[in-house]
Structure 1
Amino acid sequence: MSRRLIRFALRVGVATALCWFVAAVLICLKGMTAPYGDADIAVILGNALEDDGTPGPILVARLDTALQCHRAGQCPTLFVSGAIEDPGLNEAEAMRTWLIDHGVAQDAVVVDEHGNNTLASARNAIAFMRKHGMRRVMLVTQSYHLPRARLAIERAGAPVVYGTYPHHLRAMDAYWTFREVPAYAVYFVRLALNPDARPVSFRPMLFLLKLLSKFG
């Protein structure tokens, strides 16, 4: 390989890395500055569970954030949306149990077991909102995930979208923020080309762990 080609490849690599970094920062800032207000319903997006079926740290942080909103009277209905990974690992049911154990009335929690990804959760939430005449929705997830979640639910037809997130940061947030760059880009393009695009689930870390387990 010639020196000129090497220099060109290095420049492209540096430019790509810089653009990716700037995009990640902008996504994070967009999430942190999401509007906040009184909502008819809060949509809590699922995340990984512990091996015993209880919410993991990220999900507990989201649930606690939603609980504060509910106790303040700003989110009277809590819509918990997640996937069923394996028998005994039902994200939505785990969230429901956690909220009820922390004092939320059973009839204030709506369970969506078909939130296999952000787009599916958004569409399921909108279907429930339309059925019950709701207009204002509060999204509850991590700050870096809020822009993509807002994009999904706005494209699904939400009239008013607010957002809130756990305010304590973790080291792994850096990885997830950078992961959001291509994830947001894919959502933006797919929904721009086809607002009714089919939800597709792909979890890179889970895929990698399963792949490695085959060679373990």
Structure 2
Amino acid sequence: MNKNEVFKRRMKKTGILIGSLLVIGVLLFIIASSGNLTTDDRIGQMISDYGKGQENAWKNIEKNIAKIKEEDQELGAVWENIMNFWSYANTEMEVQLDKVPENLPEDDSFCVVILGKKLNDDGTMTEELIGRLELGLAIAEQYPNCYIAVTGGGTADKNPNVTEGGLMGQWLLEQGLSENRLIVEDKAPDTVGNAANTFSILKEKYESVDSVVILTSDYHVARGSILFHSTFMLDAYKTGTEPIEIAAGVGYYTGEESYESFELQAKGVRSVAENCGYFKAEGEGLSEDVMVGIVAAVIGTVSGIILITLKKKKNH
């Protein structure tokens, strides 16, 4: 048998070996990838995907929701609801700018949540925050049975003795709001904490409330609404209670032409997930498409190295 025939046989065997390795590698990847992404990973992926791709990310989001439902049907439904609302808040939700919403309940089943804003250094409220309060007071006057919640901890750089919620509540009382309608959340310095504390207060002390109106500045309505909605959904799931719905979004007009960035929204949703104790907000995992690409690249590289090595041997 001459050298060429020997080489051809070796190449044939090598080709079979490489083909087998490719098949085995793909099969192993499929098996491994079906189990190596945890629920935390999939939730992190969804948050990251929507934050980066918005409506273009729905194919991957739906895939991850389906996988989560296989593990926990109820949790999958919760996250499906959260992701759908996130999209709705940015694309379809009608925001009332400097207007009192119509067709809200006439009883005490809803609460207007007025979100705070960083105080001036001396501990006084900004004009923007007072504008939110004036709009909230107008809603309270049109719906005399609803509750009014104000939120925000201490954020004055040079006055640690005051809080956003405390000053907001005091202002409303001075304007004539009845004390028994006022709810003050004055502990949390950010929206995620405001949402968690507000949910706890409403569930513990105001059982009649099943929906809220989110009142903030125009640019903050989408982010504020999704952070409250996701918190309400996850805390309800965790405590086995009914979630509190977001009935409407109301914006104090500042002239801003757009909402806060999707990147900032995604950061907030990750913080909500972490704050609720279920998920690793810092871990997004690799998407399955990326993992497929990595495996294919590795296999292709190894195969190329083998072929180059064999060619070098032939030349020698």
TM-score by length of 2: 0.47
User: Alpha-carbon deviations, 1:152-204, whole Å to 9, x = none?
Assistant: 2222224321234345333xx35xx4643321122334556885369x9xxxx
Q: 1:13-162 residue pairs with structure 2 within 5 A?
A: 32-33=94-95, 37-38=104-105, 40-73=110-143, 76-85=146-155, 86-131=159-204, 132-133=206-207, 134-157=209-232, 158-162=243-247
Greater C-alpha Rg: 2
Deviates more, 1:58-67 or 1:182-191: 182-191
- Displacement of 1:89 in angstroms is 3.5
Report the CA distance shift for 1:114/1:31 in structure 2 as closer, same or farther (over 3 A): farther
More helix by share: 2
Say whether the 8 Å CA contact 2:231–2:276 is kept in structure 1: yes
248, 252, 274: which one pairs with 1:163?
248
Alignment RMSD (CA, Å)? 3.2
CA distance in 2, matches of 1:121, 1:82: 7
Say whether the 8 Å CA contact 2:148–2:182 is kept in structure 1: yes
Say whether the 8 Å CA contact 1:154–1:161 is kept in structure 2: yes
SS of equivalent residue, structure 1 residue 55: coil
CA distance in 1, matches of 2:145, 2:192: 21
Report the CA distance shift for 1:46/1:30 in structure 2 as closer, same or farther (over 3 A): farther
SS of equivalent residue, structure 1 residue 129: helix
Say whether the 8 Å CA contact 1:190–1:197 is kept in structure 2: no
- Displacement of 1:95 in angstroms is 0.2
The answer to whether residue 281 in structure 2 is matched with residue 186 in structure 1 is no
CA distance in 1, matches of 2:111, 2:95: 20
Counterpart residue identity of residue 141, structure 1: T
SS of equivalent residue, structure 2 residue 248: strand
CA distance in 2, matches of 1:191, 1:52: 30
Aligned residues: 172
- Displacement of 1:126 in angstroms is 0.8
User: Alpha-carbon deviations, 1:68-111, whole Å to 9, x = none?
Assistant: 11001166211111021242441111101110111111222121
SS of equivalent residue, structure 1 residue 41: strand
Say whether the 8 Å CA contact 2:154–2:163 is kept in structure 1: yes
TM-score by length of 1: 0.66
CA distance in 2, matches of 1:192, 1:81: 20
Say whether the 8 Å CA contact 1:63–1:99 is kept in structure 2: yes
Say whether the 8 Å CA contact 1:48–1:91 is kept in structure 2: yes
CA distance in 2, matches of 1:53, 1:189: 30
Report the CA distance shift for 1:178/1:87 in structure 2 as closer, same or farther (over 3 A): same
SS of equivalent residue, structure 1 residue 137: strand
Report the CA distance shift for 1:181/1:27 in structure 2 as closer, same or farther (over 3 A): farther
CA distance in 2, matches of 1:67, 1:167: 12
User: Alpha-carbon deviations, 1:16-35, whole Å to 9, x = none?
Assistant: xxx89xxxxx9766565378
Counterpart residue identity of residue 94, structure 1: L
Report the CA distance shift for 1:81/1:146 in structure 2 as closer, same or farther (over 3 A): same
